[in-house]
RNA sequence: GCCCGGGUGGCGAAAUGGUAAACGCGGGCGACUUAAAAUCGCCUGGCUUCGGCCGUGCAGGUUCGAGUCCUGCCCCGGGCACCA
């Protein structure tokens, strides 16, 4: 039996864990490297074959860095609060703690069998009392610094989930999870003042080694824009309307004002004749959620209030309207409308026949539409003739002099709605006193733990699960003995993931969230790897908390994650057809349709033949049949060809491949090598079951370098001592050089291809020498650690190959005596020449020109120019 | 609509402005075998009058030389979407 992963893998996994081979230790003598995976939410589904791509990549890097002499922190844990466990509890009555524990055990089992070199002694679970305590402690710090406050805010209430959702969790007016409708309601909620950090969250992005598109997404989410606030006096009153504009230079072109329907001045501005129309409009707008309103980019609607304001630059009367294209939550909730130079204002003005006054000449025609390009000011008194940028500066100075406005900055980012009406989350460590004030639970009373509950069903009437436990809600203030009420809300799932990377530095600490020594040594995270779906939310929230802890003196670096990488998604092949059993009635035997007989229009699919509505169905990937051309067929019907679709793995599409089955068949090492070899870390690709055997064969060949077959048995080869022949030394050196370079660039895919070349060629002419064998195993250990460890121990080593020293090589071996150059004539490759490595350009040129093939193409013409690229090629231009 | 990515053999993919397709899958041929599997070796972009010619989504440009840089367009994936 040549290479049998099942015989060796669990043995090494157990040994690594029992001996704590990969413990992370603070070692002042060594440089540190903190490589972190985004910790998973342990869902009931378990891992599919795509999840470990990031984990396997970080593991290869962690192992590489250890071999390079770094003290490596490579931990794993569980982001275990969250909605699914609670929803499961509602359905089955199983306590979320039970479900969570079960799922964690399954995840841990799956990760362990991949041979990942985590320091499992540092495992954290965000639902553990000892973790919750410090999450609540950080909340206390936010509260003490005035960054956590309660406010009556219009929230996104989702009746189906029975909870409020953050703006970020609402997509197109529906909940991100489950796509249930969401409505706007005012409720008292905990808010975190993330807006106070907006500027720093932007500025500090500069120093981070993150993918540019992720930085950009954060920038756009924060949405900084520079402009001015301008006060428009209200006609017939002492009041004024303050507007925010990014184009103060167009102030002379402001021909009307628009208030958001929720603006506090709406009632005051409205005249009697207009009141009924205004009230109706305001009421209509209130019924729509903000997302619905902003998503609707159709025709502009609005109502005139009957009131007027005065344009401060020219004292002209401008009518005041309300319209829902103005958002109450951005800027001042009011705008000055400049229809000539803003398309939305132009659409509105055109519809309601409001004058359009051009105040910027930029070559455009304002009768056709708004002209938004910069240009030169016109019809603008003292601004006339100034280019847009100068006009802005000038008018801002004027506004400030006159006390009529000022330059200012606005952000799209809002404060973070931080409470949820759920059970399975961290309780707020606060007490509401009878006088209406709120104070923190004293530190020595933390953690505030969840009360036991046996019914998790949301009541649907804005009551939270916790309010059903009066004996928990009702308590006393330990300082005064006065009655107090606990908060009925819990924190969102983000709370635990906002600081887990700090807990990993010192996870067993009972007296602090982490010690200053551990934080000093390990932070920041040098490499953070996880899904691009966290580009804004998790990464923005975690940066915010980290900055608060920085300001409070608990951490020494401004940013938590130095380098960020997003693994590409591994896709699965799914197989689709359609049927007309729209109600999923099991009693019906539906008509089946292949995709080719179905017409798709938007969300609707109809049978091409009769126009009946049909519904997509998927055949599980193991149940398809292939005809002789390789076309997938329905399991029972030869006439139904299945459409092959490459998409995200999910249970409902029947295209999930579990790592368990891959490991059982090919072993963890082959699964790891294939995952890495498929392509670059950040690129996604479909998982092809046909690809793994190739990687398995590579491991088998590696194994055969060390073992020889004698009839039925096999025995370890005796490896000659030393470095071997010149060719072997050169190949070994080139492999080390190449693999090192690839690992520094985080390209394990090409590193593995170099090891494949090594295995193919190293023992071609002479037996594998000892030195080459050891260098190879140390490198191989990054990708196929079990096999490397096994062979390493067979060579007589007692320590782990994962703790050896990265191999070195002699640079001189990479320089050969002669080199092969390509010769081009007019840029086309015509010949190949062999020249001494140290030949100078003239000598190379002479050899090239003398070449027969070159002569034929030069056709006796005199070269006009000869370019010699040392070590590469010669190009002769005639 | 706007902003990011990406488009290279039958497939996954390589390639500091310098010989396009390394490595792997699949396919073909051969060796070993009674045979098959496994293994090993060789071949594998298209066309060709066997001189070559054409080939990195399309059309141009810069350059001695472009997959790589620039301009315009097409397609696919992702993000944002009335933010004044």
Closest residue to B52 by CA to C1' distance? A830
A345 in the same domain as A240: yes
Per-residue pLDDT, A494: 93
| Average confidence (pLDDT) over A835-854 | 79
In a domain, A400, yes or no: yes
Residue identified by tokens 């309660």 is A150
The CA-atom distances, in angstroms, between A587 and each of A480, A583, A590, A606, A607 are 67, 11, 9, 22, 21
In a domain, A702, yes or no: no
Q: Which residue has the higher pLDDT, A129 or A827?
A: A129
Distance, CA of A849 to C1' of B41, in Å: 37
Distance, CA of A718 to C1' of B42, in Å: 30
Per-residue pLDDT, A167: 61
Question: Phi then psi for A376, rounded to 5 degrees?
Answer: -125, 135
Q: Among residues A618, A642, A657, which one ends one of the domains?
A: A657
Distance, CA of A593 to C1' of B4, in Å: 38
Per-residue pLDDT, A583: 82
| Average confidence (pLDDT) over A65-91 | 92
Residue A175: pLDDT over 80: no
Strand B bases with any atom < 7 A from protein Cβ: 3-5, 11-16, 18-20, 22-26, 39-41, 52-53, 64-66, 78-84
Distance, CA of A858 to C1' of B53, in Å: 18
The answer to which of A227-241, A287-301, A570-584, A660-674 has the lowest mean pLDDT is A287-301
Per-residue pLDDT, A68: 97
What sections of A164-289 are H helices per DSSP?
198-203, 212-222, 266-269, 272-287
In a domain, A535, yes or no: yes
A382 in the same domain as A264: yes
Q: How confident is the model at residue A434 (pLDDT cuts 50, 70, 90)?
A: very high
A404 in the same domain as A267: yes
Residue identified by tokens 């989350």 is A425
Closest residue to B13 by CA to C1' distance? A679
Q: Among residues A364, A392, A410, which one ends one of the domains?
A: A410
Per-residue pLDDT, A296: 53
Rg of chain A, C-alpha, whole Å: 34
Highest-confidence range of A405-409, A573-577, A714-718, by mean pLDDT? A405-409
d(CA A335, CA A345): 10
Q: How confident is the model at residue A45 (pLDDT cuts 50, 70, 90)?
A: confident
A85 in the same domain as A101: yes
CATH number of the domain bearing residue A51: 3.40.50.620
A561 in the same domain as A609: no
Q: What angle do CA A175, A181, A183 make, to 5 degrees?
A: 100
Encode pLDDT of A537-556 as tens digits. Answer: 999 999 999 999 999 999 99
d(CA A396, CA A386): 14
Per-residue pLDDT, A837: 78
Q: Please give the nucleotide, over all strands, whose C1' is closest to the CA of residue A868.
A: B18
Distance, CA of A711 to C1' of B48, in Å: 51
Distance, CA of A65 to C1' of B18, in Å: 34
Q: Please give the nucleotide, over all strands, whose C1' is closest to the CA of residue A679.
A: B13
Distance, CA of A712 to C1' of B31, in Å: 22
Q: Please give the nucleotide, over all strands, whose C1' is closest to the CA of residue A413.
A: B83
A296 in the same domain as A398: yes
Residue A518: pLDDT over 80: yes
Distance, CA of A560 to C1' of B76, in Å: 35
Closest residue to B77 by CA to C1' distance? A684
The answer to which of A376-380, A443-447, A559-563, A863-867 has the lowest mean pLDDT is A863-867
d(CA A222, CA A228): 18
Residue A31: pLDDT over 80: yes
In a domain, A705, yes or no: no
Number of H helices, E strands in chain A: 26, 40
Per-residue pLDDT, A629: 64
Per-residue pLDDT, A49: 76
Closest residue to B26 by CA to C1' distance? A690
In a domain, A363, yes or no: yes
Distance, CA of A689 to C1' of B9, in Å: 21
Q: Please give the nucleotide, over all strands, whose C1' is closest to the CA of residue A537.
A: B79
A335 in the same domain as A288: yes
Encode pLDDT of A457-492 as tens digits. Answer: 766 666 778 888 999 999 999 989 999 999 999 999
In a domain, A54, yes or no: yes
Residue A577: pLDDT over 80: yes
A509 in the same domain as A398: no
Q: Please give the nucleotide, over all strands, whose C1' is closest to the CA of residue A875.
A: B64
Q: Which residue has the higher pLDDT, A30 or A535?
A: A30
Distance, CA of A567 to C1' of B46, in Å: 35
Q: Please give the nucleotide, over all strands, whose C1' is closest to the CA of residue A701.
A: B39
Per-residue pLDDT, A877: 83
**Count of domains forming chain A:** 6
Distance, CA of A96 to C1' of B5, in Å: 39
Q: Please give the nucleotide, over all strands, whose C1' is closest to the CA of residue A224.
A: B83
Encode pLDDT of A750-790 as tens digits. Answer: 999 999 999 999 998 888 999 999 999 999 999 999 999 99
| Average confidence (pLDDT) over A373-397 | 93
Q: Please give the nucleotide, over all strands, whose C1' is closest to the CA of residue A753.
A: B23
The answer to which of A37-41, A102-106, A642-646, A811-815 has the lowest mean pLDDT is A642-646
| Average confidence (pLDDT) over A384-388 | 93
A235 in the same domain as A179: no
Closest residue to B23 by CA to C1' distance? A753
Q: Whole-number mean pLDDT of chain A?
A: 89
Residue A286: pLDDT over 80: no
Buried b (16+ CB within 10 A) or exposed e, A1-22: eebebeebbeebbeebeeeebb
Per-residue pLDDT, A289: 57
Distance, CA of A566 to C1' of B6, in Å: 15
Residue A856: pLDDT over 80: no
Per-residue pLDDT, A166: 63
Encode pLDDT of A326-382 as tens digits. Answer: 988 899 999 999 999 998 999 999 999 999 999 999 888 888 888 888 889 999 999
Q: How confident is the model at residue A677 (pLDDT cuts 50, 70, 90)?
A: very high
Distance, CA of A711 to C1' of B34, in Å: 20
Q: Please give the nucleotide, over all strands, whose C1' is closest to the CA of residue A756.
A: B23
Distance, CA of A38 to C1' of B16, in Å: 33
d(CA A494, CA A20): 31
Encode pLDDT of A242-269 as tens digits. Answer: 999 999 999 999 999 999 998 999 999 9
Encode pLDDT of A180-193 as tens digits. Answer: 777 777 778 899 99
Residue A297: pLDDT over 80: no
Residue A207: pLDDT over 60: yes
CATH number of the domain bearing residue A317: 3.90.740.10
The SS3 assignment for A520 reads helix
A576 in the same domain as A556: no
Q: Please give the nucleotide, over all strands, whose C1' is closest to the CA of residue A827.
A: B65
Closest residue to B15 by CA to C1' distance? A750
In a domain, A672, yes or no: no
Percentage of residues of chain A with pLDDT beyond 70: 95
Per-residue pLDDT, A462: 66
Residue A78: pLDDT over 90: yes
Closest residue to B17 by CA to C1' distance? A869
CATH number of the domain bearing residue A866: 3.10.20.590
Residue identified by tokens 């990377």 is A501
Residue A859: pLDDT over 80: no
Residue A305: pLDDT over 60: yes
Residue A714: pLDDT over 80: no
Residue A711: pLDDT over 80: no
A401 in the same domain as A419: no
CATH number of the domain bearing residue A787: 1.10.730.10
Encode pLDDT of A607-634 as tens digits. Answer: 888 888 888 888 888 888 777 666 778 8
The SS3 assignment for A672 reads helix
Q: Please give the nucleotide, over all strands, whose C1' is closest to the CA of residue A324.
A: B82
Highest-confidence range of A429-438, A563-572, A633-642, by mean pLDDT? A429-438
In a domain, A683, yes or no: no
Closest residue to B2 by CA to C1' distance? A220
A390 in the same domain as A248: yes
Q: Which residue has the higher pLDDT, A363 or A125?
A: A125
Q: Indicate left, alpha or beta for A746 from its phi (over 0: left) and psi (-120 to 50: alpha).
A: left
Give the range of the structural domain holding residue A765, as residue numbers without chain letter.
713-811
């Amino acid at each position: 039996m040549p290479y049998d992963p099942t015989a060796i893998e669990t043995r090494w996994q157990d040994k690594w864990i029992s001996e704590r081979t990969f413990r992370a230790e603070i070692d002042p003598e060594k440089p540190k490297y903190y490589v972190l995976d985004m910790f998973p939410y342990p869902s009931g589904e378990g891992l599919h074959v795509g999840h470990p791509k990031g984990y396997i990549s970080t593991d290869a890097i962690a192992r590489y860095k250890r071999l390079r002499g770094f003290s490596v922190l490579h931990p794993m844990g569980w982001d275990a609060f969250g909605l699914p466990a609670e929803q499961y509890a509602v359905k089955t009555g199983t306590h979320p703690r039970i479900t969570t524990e079960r799922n964690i055990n399954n995840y841990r089992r799956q990760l362990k069998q991949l041979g990942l070199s985590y320091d499992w002694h540092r495992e954290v679970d965000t639902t553990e009392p000892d973790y919750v305590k410090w999450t609540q402690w950080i909340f206390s710090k936010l509260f003490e610094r005035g960054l956590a406050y309660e406010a009556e805010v219009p929230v996104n209430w989702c009746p189906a989930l029975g909870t409020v959702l953050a703006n970020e969790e609402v997509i197109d007016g529906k909940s991100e999870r489950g796509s249930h409708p969401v409505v706007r309601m005012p409720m008292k909620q905990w808010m975190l003042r993330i807006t106070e950090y907006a500027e720093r969250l932007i500025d500090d992005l500069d120093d981070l080694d993150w993918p540019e598109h992720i930085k950009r997404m954060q920038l756009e989410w924060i949405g900084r824009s520079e402009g001015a606030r301008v006060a428009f006096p209200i006609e017939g009153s002492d009041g004024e309307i303050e507007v925010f504009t990014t184009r103060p230079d167009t102030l002379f072109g402001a021909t009307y004002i628009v208030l958001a329907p929720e603006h506090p001045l709406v009632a005051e501005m409205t005249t009697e004749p207009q009141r009924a129309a205004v009230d109706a409009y305001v009421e209509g707008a209130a019924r729509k959620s903000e997302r619905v309103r902003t998503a609707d980019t159709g025709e502009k609607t609005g109502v005139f209030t009957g009131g007027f304001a005065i344009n401060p630059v020219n004292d002209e009367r401008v009518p005041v309207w309300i319209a829902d294209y103005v958002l109450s939550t951005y800027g001042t909730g009011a705008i000055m409308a400049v229809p000539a130079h803003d398309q939305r204002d132009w659409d509105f003005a055109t519809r309601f026949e409001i004058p359009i006054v051009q105040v910027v000449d930029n070559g455009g025609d304002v009768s056709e539409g708004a002209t938004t390009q910069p240009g030169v000011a016109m019809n603008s008194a003292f601004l006339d003739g100034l280019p847009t940028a100068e006009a802005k500066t000038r008018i801002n100075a004027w506004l400030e002099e006159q006390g009529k406005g000022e330059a200012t900055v606005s952000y799209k980012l809002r404060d973070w709605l931080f409470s949820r009406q759920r059970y399975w989350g961290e309780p707020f460590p606060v007490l509401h006193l009878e006088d209406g004030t709120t104070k923190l639970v004293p530190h020595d009373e933390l953690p505030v733990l969840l009360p036991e509950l046996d019914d998790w069903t949301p009541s649907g009437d804005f009551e939270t699960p916790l309010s059903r436990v009066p004996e928990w809600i009702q308590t006393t203030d330990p300082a005064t003995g006065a009655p107090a009420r606990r908060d009925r809300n819990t924190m969102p799932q983000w709370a635990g993931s906002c600081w887990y990377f700090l807990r990993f530095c010192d996870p067993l600490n009972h007296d602090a969230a982490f010690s200053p020594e551990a934080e000093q040594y390990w932070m920041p995270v040098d490499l953070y790897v996880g899904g691009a779906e966290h580009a804004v939310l998790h990464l923005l929230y975690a940066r915010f908390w980290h900055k608060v802890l920085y300001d409070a003196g608990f951490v020494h670096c401004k940013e938590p994650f130095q380098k960020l990488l997003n693994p590409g998604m591994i896709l699965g092949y799914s197989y689709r057809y359609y049927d007309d059993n729209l109600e999923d009635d099991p009693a019906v035997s539906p008509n089946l349709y292949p995709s080719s007989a179905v017409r798709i229009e938007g969300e609707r699919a109809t049978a091409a033949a009769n126009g009946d509505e049909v519904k997509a169905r998927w055949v599980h990937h193991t149940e398809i049949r292939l005809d002789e051309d390789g076309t997938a067929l329905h399991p029972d019907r030869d006439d139904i060809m299945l459409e092959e679709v490459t998409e995200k793995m999910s249970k409902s599409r029947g295209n999930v491949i579990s790592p368990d089955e891959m490991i059982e068949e090919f072993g963890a090492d082959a699964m790891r090598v294939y995952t890495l070899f498929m392509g670059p870390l950040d690129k996604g690709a479909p998982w092809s079951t046909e690809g793994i055997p190739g990687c398995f064969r590579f491991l088998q060949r590696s194994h055969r370098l060390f073992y020889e077959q004698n009839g039925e048995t096999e025995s370890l080869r005796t490896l000659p001592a030393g470095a071997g022949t010149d060719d072997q030394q050169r190949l070994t050196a080139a492999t080390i050089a190449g693999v090192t370079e690839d690992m520094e660039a985080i390209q394990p895919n090409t590193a593995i291809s170099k090891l494949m070349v090594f295995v193919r060629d190293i023992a071609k002419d002479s037996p594998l020498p000892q030195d080459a064998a050891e260098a190879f195993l140390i490198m191989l250990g990054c990708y196929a650690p079990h096999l490397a460890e096994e062979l390493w121990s067979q060579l007589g080593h007692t320590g782990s190959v994962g703790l050896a020293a990265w191999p070195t090589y002699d640079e001189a071996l990479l320089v050969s005596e002669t080199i092969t150059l390509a010769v081009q004539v007019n840029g086309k490759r015509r010949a190949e020449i062999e020249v001494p490595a140290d030949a100078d350009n003239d000598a190379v040129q002479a050899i090239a020109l003398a070449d027969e093939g070159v002569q034929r193409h030069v056709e006796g013409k005199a070269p006009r120019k000869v370019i010699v690229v040392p070590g590469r090629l010669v190009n002769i231009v005639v």
